[in-house]
Chain A
Amino acid sequence: MQSMLAAGARPRRTVTPAPLLLLAGLMLVTGIAGGLYRLGIAPAAVAATDWLGRAALAHAALMIGAFLGTVIGIERAVAVKLPAAWLAPIASALGGACLLLGQAYAGAWLGVAAAALFAAVNVVVVRRQPAVHTALLWLASVAWLGGNLLFATGAASEAVLPWWFGFLVVTIAAERAEMTRLMRRRPAAHPLLFGVLAVMYAGAAASGFAPRLGGLLYGLSLTALACWFFAFDIARRTVATNGLPRYMAVCLLAGYLWLAIGGIGWALTALGWPLRDTALHALGLGFVFSMMMAHAPVILPAVARIKIEFGRFFYVPLAALHASLLLRLAAGWFDAALRSMGAVLNAASIALFAVTLVGAAIAWHIQHDAPTVQDILHG
């Protein structure tokens, strides 16, 4: 039987160019290496290289803009099916490469171009489907653009990071808000979400000139957003299912807990507590990477046309990520060596997740391509 697609029935399927996927992967690896180098952890063979020092300096730019920004840009380009939409992830990945190669100026402004292009793509999305969640996707892209402009003009990290994390957090909030449409509409849900996000953007804006007030508002808004997710997200229901949907819900709910912790950490850091690592990594690893682990088994088939066989083993890297983060942020509070060990194990958890994905892709092929007894008997 042949599938038939009449002309115009469905746009051609989009496949992410392999070099772009590889470059995004390289941004992840070098971003993690830079993060570990910041903590004084680096294999002797690479410790003396220039790129590692640059990766350490640009750790947040590599992880948020060059890796996650590229991945999110790819996701959106696959969805909108416009060739021009690919310019955004291409620019963000090349921007990261420039940062690694010592071309900081070009890297930063490629980041600005990427975010501007991405914002334009999201205008197309809003025009195609005017809705709360598409408007939030556009607002998220504007936060990324704001952060990248501040980064390119040499603003302090206290001013840049709230916008960068805002980009990720609001993108996730938009996607979750879309899912809440499947639940009975509760009148307070949207006004509460808008209120929380308004405080978040006010906090991000104030962080540039009144870091104490800005950080406090920003941190509290993150924790309030976590409460919103716990109250309104469908994960509370899908966690009662099984298989991949349950795994995704577990990732989401664990992530919301870290979002709440990261928010408190962010607010206390603004008040002078030494909790910067808690604020940044509860948010970046506990929340954002948990979301990434949730969606990778679904997104990878969409962007890379690689089929995945889901299995319970996916829980192993997930548990490893959350346990190692607990070690890093809780035990690390008392002992710097445990903090470093936690960070190494964070990286190992992400590597284990990558191996899990490769294994799941191989498992799918074994499951679906292996010849059956009938095939063998009948040649």
Chain B
Amino acid sequence: MSETVSLQAAPAPVPDTRSPFPYEGPQELRRPIAEALQRVVDPEVAMSIVDVGLVYGVTVAQGRIHLLLTMTSVACPVADVIVDDVESELDRIAPPDLQIQVELVWEPPWTPARMSERAKIFMGW
């Protein structure tokens, strides 16, 4: 991307149910990225990775989309498949000159508190 990427802290979290994760980057990419990630579903729980709270944050800067992702279990063998799906979905919406980097992290550990309101309602909270 040729335009300057804003790295300043977001003025205030905008209540947007489609991107309930920290986001730093151009505002015009916020929504497409959130929608792309919303399409990545963990079939075991029938919810998107965003609703489960697996997306720890997205930064768009220096010619790349950098995404921090976690899993609910270190024994989960499908982590690579979910990372592939994330890359594929981001690939569909990102401008051609942006690179995609998905980083799998385990700290802080995932907790149910990270689930979206929609996910909690679905799971009977």
Query: Which A residues are closer than 8 A to B by beta carbons?
Result: 1-6, 9-11, 13-14, 75-76, 78-80, 125, 128-129, 131, 133-134, 137, 174-175, 178-179, 181-185, 234, 237-238, 241, 243-246, 248, 297-299, 301-303
Contact = CB atoms under 8 A, between A and B. Distances in A.
B103 to A, nearest CB: 5
Interface in B43-88: 43-46, 52, 64, 72-81, 83, 87
8 contacts: A75-B77, A76-B77, A128-B106, A129-B73, A174-B75, A182-B115, A182-B119, A299-B77
B99 A183 contact: no
B123 A237 contact: yes
Contact of A79 (B75, B94, B122, B125): B75
A140 to B, nearest CB: 11
Interface of B: 41, 43-46, 52, 64, 72-81, 83, 87, 91, 94, 96-104, 106, 109, 112, 115, 119-120, 122-125
A299 B96 CA distance: 31
Nearest to A74: B77
Given A182-B52, A303-B77, A1 B100 contact: yes
Contacts of A14: 80
Chain A CB count within 10 A is highest, among B52, B94, B124, for B124
Contacts of B45: 179, 182, 234, 238, 245
A185 B124 CA distance: 11
Contact of B99 (A4, A182, A185, A234): A4
B101 A245 contact: no
Residues of A contacting B: mostly: helix
Given A4-B99, A4-B100, A181-B112, A129 B78 contact: no
A302 B82 CA distance: 9
Nearest to B87: A3
Contacts of A181: 72, 112
A195 B114 CA distance: 29
Given A2-B99, A181-B72, A248 B77 contact: no
A133 B73 contact: yes
Given A3-B100, A234-B45, A298 B78 contact: yes
Given A4-B64, A11-B104, 6 more contacts: A3-B99, A4-B100, A182-B123, A183-B125, A184-B120, A248-B44
Given A182-B112, A184-B125, A237-B123, A125 B102 contact: no
A131 B74 CA distance: 10
Nearest to B43: A244
B101 A302 contact: no
B74 A128 contact: yes
A62 B44 CA distance: 28
Nearest to B100: A3
Given A9-B101, A182-B115, A245-B44, A129 B79 contact: no
Given A14-B80, A183-B125, A6 B44 contact: no
B124 A299 contact: no
Nearest to B88: A3
For B79, B80, B87, which residue has the most chain A Cβ atoms within 10 angstroms? B80
Contact of A133 (B75, B99, B115): B75
Contacts of B91: 1, 3
B76 A248 contact: no
A128 B105 CA distance: 12
Nearest to A75: B77
Contacts of B72: 178, 181-182
Contact of A184 (B43, B44, B46, B124): B124
A234 B73 contact: no
A232 to B, nearest CB: 11
